[in-house]
Amino acid sequence: MEEKKLFSKIFLWMFIGLMITFGTAFYVSTQEFLILNILRLDWIWFLLQLGIVIFLSARIAKMNPFTAKLSFAIYSFVTGLTLSYIFIIFQMSSILTIFLASAVMFGIFGLFGYYTKVNLTKLSSILMMGLVGIIIAGVINIFTANSTLDLIISSLGILIFTIFVAYDIQKAKMFSKLETIPEDNLAIYGALNLYLDFINIFLSLLQIFGGSRDN
């Protein structure tokens, strides 16, 4: 399949996913009844998000393209529900600034991943160990609420997920050589990976540099 065509679809669906997420998050943040119930059921939304990611990753090769697109759209919507709190806690100007900063970082590392001759797949085990480490530390910090640990987690998150951007872009280039999986499915899978990278970069930056409404 054509590489440029695949990338155009990947970035289109990533953009659609981000618009669904942030549009949903903003709307829910203006509805007190909705946000109170969503925050009360936060573990349910988390498990639903995890389930969709596992479903997409495991079934992407055999999935109907419409089902793949619908699953990604639902995932983006559910993520928007869980991120609605950011519009309550942080100033809008801070959110917009950090969104742009995330886009710049994403672009820089994306270009590196696309043009570099270095085989980034060698980093896969290191990146996965780093990701698992962040998740474990994050769970621990739910109970300890340590601000220093929170800063370390966010800083490592920025490092790991910016490298993931380059890694996933290079992996998407390899996708273009596959002929056995529908192009739309590969586009959704690539969009999901890059969407997750962007969201995690954004949240990590927001955690460190975000201006609270209380300030």
Q: How far apart are CA 215 and CA 207, in angstroms?
A: 15
Q: Residue 66 and residue 151: Cα distance in Å, rounded?
A: 40
Place of tokens 């559910």: 78
Return the HEC string of 180-214.
Answer: CCCHHHHHHHHHHHHHHHHHHHHHHHHHHHCCECC
Say if residue 16 is exposed, middle or buried (CB neighbours under 10 Å; 0-12, 13-18, 19+).
middle
How confident is the model over 24-66, as pLDDT tens digits?
999 999 988 888 888 777 778 888 888 888 888 888 878 889 9
- pLDDT tens sequence across 79-122: 999 899 899 999 999 999 999 999 999 999 999 999 999 999 88
pTM of the predicted model, to two decimals? 0.91
Strand partners, 212: 90
Task: Show me where the domains of the chain are located.
Answer: 3-209
